[in-house]
Each structure stands twice: as C-alpha cells, then as structure tokens.
Amino acid sequence: EAQVTQNPRYLITVTGKKLTVTCSQNMNHEYMSWYRQDPGLGLRQIYYSMNVEVTDKGDVPEGYKVSRKEKRNFPLILESPSPNQTSLYFCASSFLRPGGELFFGEGSRLTVL
C-alpha cells in the first residue's frame, strides 16, 4: 500500500529535549516536505527536499533541521524544542516537484511543555 509513515504520532516533551520525527514514504517519490498546522494559520511549510541531499527552507524553518540521506526518509529534527513548536506536523511527498498530488502522512501531534 502506498503510504507516508510518520512516527511518533503523539509526543509530549519538555523544553530543550532534542527530538526527531521520522517520515518514510514507499512510493519512490523525489519530493518530500514538512508542514505544521496551527489553528487559524492553516498549513505552513517548514522544509522541503527535491531529492537526496537536496533540502531547502520553507516559510517557517526556524528551530528545525532536516536531512535527506535516503530517498525514502526525511526526518524532522527539533534540536531544542520550545513551547511555540507545539503543533500538528505533517510530512508529505510527491513524485515530482509539488505540481502534482501530495501524499500526506497521518500527522504527528507534538506538545512541548
């Protein structure tokens, strides 16, 4: 089954404790992206990757890091989480640049205390 898998789905952590949200897709997609979703603000792009070893900032990259060492994986790293990073995070992928359909993961709800 074609899918984008994120883990963990739910996480409560404390300020400053490094965490990684993993994302993996099994569709051989070149393009992957991270979004955060906050009430009243819609989805905002954090980082994206056009291909292996190619990543770039989206609209709200501060406080986040990513890597793309393999085509299928695109982890999101919060080196020192802060309460304003409490949000619902989505990983998404598409076959080419995102002119086509984006496939989304189920989301990771993160709470930073």
Partner 1 sequence: SQQGEEDPQALSIQEGENATMNCSYKTSINNLQWYRQNSGRGLVHLILIRSNEREKHSGRLRVTLDTSKKSSSLLITASRAADTASYFCATDDSGTASKLTFGTGTRLQVTL
**Which range touches partner 1 (CB under 8 A), out of 12-20, 40-48, 67-75, 78-86?**
40-48
Residue 55, interface with partner 1 (CB under 8 A)?
no
Instruction: Find the shortest distance in angstroms from Cβ 78 to partner 1.
Output: 20
Do 80 and 104 meet the contact criterion of CB atoms below 8 Å apart?
no
Residue 52, interface with partner 1 (CB under 8 A)?
no
User: Which of 61, 94, 91, 95 is CA-nearest to residue 78?
Assistant: 61
User: Which of 21, 42, 49 is CA-nearest to residue 105?
Assistant: 21
Separation of alpha carbons 11 and 109, rounded Å: 6
Residue 95, interface with partner 1 (CB under 8 A)?
no
**Which range touches partner 1 (CB under 8 A), out of 14-22, 39-47, 69-77, 78-86?**
39-47
Name which position in 21, 23, 24, 33 contacts partner 1 (CB under 8 A).
33
CA 84 to chain centre: 16
Report the DSSP beta bridge partners of residue 93: 32, 103
Applying CB under 8 A, the residues found at the interface with partner 1 are 4, 33, 35, 40-43, 45, 48, 50, 56, 58-59, 88, 90, 92, 97-107, 109
